[in-house]
Amino acid sequence: MISVAAIRMQQFGVQFYQASLSANDIDKLVRFEVLSYGEQAQPVRGGRKKIAPPSKVNWDLLERRIASSEKAYQRQIIRRKIDELVQYYEQCRQARDLPSIPGAVIISCDEPLKFEPAEPDSSLGILKVPEREGILRAIDGQHRLLALHADIDRFGDQRFTVPAIIFDRLPEDHVVQMFVTINAKHTRLNASHLVSLSGRQLYRDENLAAAHDIVRALNDREDSPLFGEIKLLGVGSGRVAQAPLAQELKKLFATESFGAGRKGDTFREEAKKFFVNYYKQVAQVFGAAWNGRKYSIKSATALRAFIRVAPDVVRRLDQEHADRTDFRAIGRVIAPWGRRIGDLRFESEGAWKRSGTTTDSLTKELRLALQYPEGAAV
């Protein structure tokens, strides 16, 4: 184990650490990898062929350190960027007036981390990282760390530490989401890289893969009421966030009544068709709210509630011996929502705000309206 001083941090229920790693620790523990676009792909991109200025980087050695995989998410390495960083590091070393890596790199550990607080309940303490080569992978800062690797032999005995944000076994889909959110706008990832990242091959969990397919169908199909409105992987012009929908669908598919035991292409295709038709009917039942500007029906809270009540809708369809994907049958089942709930329930500055609407509270209302379609007392 490598022991380093660290601060334990927490944001929205997610725990991570801010630590200081030595250059040698970084060089040993971090593995470098790029997304493979095919057998002929190169892990390092050099741009157009032209007479290049002399480089201080040993590219033969550096390229051997970079793995290429269809399961990776990092873009191809840009030679020019590495060269510029190495030159900058050398200037900093000679001038001694600026740090070369002042900002934290973001990395994820593949194995469990152990944190020992300095005092009970203290956020300060010692973080213990398993000492295994390649156990860490960069989410943000891979070029900076590669330049450090290329230049480390020139550091000699000088003390050099790198600030790092370290996550403990961050889930694969969260790693991709964070990487794209950080890089898509500021470093202008190319479109084909984004398409590759949004592919199902990165989602090892079958339920999350199915959820991803449905979110894509809702956003990409022209007959979907959410066509072009979902911000896939944190980018795009849409107003609806992808992550809350995907996580809610993932949990739904883990339930016995909806997804468990129904894996495979047939199930995913049926589920995509159901949810497109389901939201089309929701858009009709609450037409004024869906098409209006001052309503919260397309918020993550409301859209998640509709997903949570989907098993109740499917149960009614099964009781009626109707096809789960039948557009008209879905409409018959959810018709009571129009009478019992209505458009005004979603008015942002009205009932929505007054009742302090949450996903749980709206789910309960939708479920009761299905159970008591004529408004019977409960």
Q: How far is CA 369 from CA 15, 363, 373, 374, in A?
A: 39, 10, 5, 8
Task: Write down the pTM of the prediction.
Answer: 0.56
Same domain, 287 and 227: yes
Q: Which residue has the tokens 């018959």?
A: 332
Whether residue 177 is contained in a domain is answered as no
CA distance 72 to 63: 16
Same domain, 120 and 29: yes
Whether residue 281 is contained in a domain is answered as yes
CA distance 340 to 377: 12
Whether residue 278 is contained in a domain is answered as yes
Same domain, 221 and 165: no
**Backbone φ, ψ for residue 338 (5° rounding):** -65, -40
Same domain, 160 and 222: no
Same domain, 32 and 157: yes
Find the domain containing 236 and state its range.
202-371
Whether residue 140 is contained in a domain is answered as yes
Of the three residues 150, 170, 190, the one that is the final residue of a domain is 170
Whether residue 213 is contained in a domain is answered as yes
Same domain, 138 and 279: no
The two beta strands, 2-11 and 124-129, are antiparallel
Q: How far is CA 38 from CA 34, 41, 43, 60, in A?
A: 12, 5, 11, 21
CA distance 96 to 101: 13
Q: How many Cα atoms are found within 13 Å in the side-chain-facing hemisphere of 22? A: 11
Domain total in the chain: 2
Whether residue 189 is contained in a domain is answered as no
Of the three residues 148, 170, 192, the one that is the final residue of a domain is 170
Same domain, 288 and 233: yes
Please give the full DSSP string across 292-327, using - where no structure is assigned.
-SSB-TTSHHHHHHHHHTHHHHHHHHHHTT--TT-H
CA distance 277 to 306: 13
Of the three residues 170, 191, 223, the one that is the final residue of a domain is 170
Same domain, 212 and 166: no
- The tens-digit pLDDT sequence of the chain (378 residues) is 899 999 999 988 889 999 999 888 888 888 776 655 444 444 555 544 444 555 666 666 656 666 665 556 555 667 788 888 888 888 887 777 778 888 898 888 988 999 999 999 899 999 999 988 888 888 888 888 888 888 877 777 788 899 999 999 877 777 766 776 666 555 555 544 554 455 444 555 677 778 888 988 999 899 999 998 987 765 566 788 887 888 888 888 887 666 555 555 566 788 899 999 999 999 999 999 999 989 999 998 999 999 999 999 999 999 999 999 999 999 999 999 999 999 999 999 999 999 999 999 999 999 999 998 876 544
Same domain, 49 and 148: yes
Greatest extent of the chain over all pairs of C-alpha atoms, in Å: 82
Same domain, 135 and 80: yes
SS3 assignment, position 138: strand
Same domain, 212 and 353: yes
Whether residue 17 is contained in a domain is answered as yes
Whether residue 190 is contained in a domain is answered as no
Same domain, 273 and 352: yes
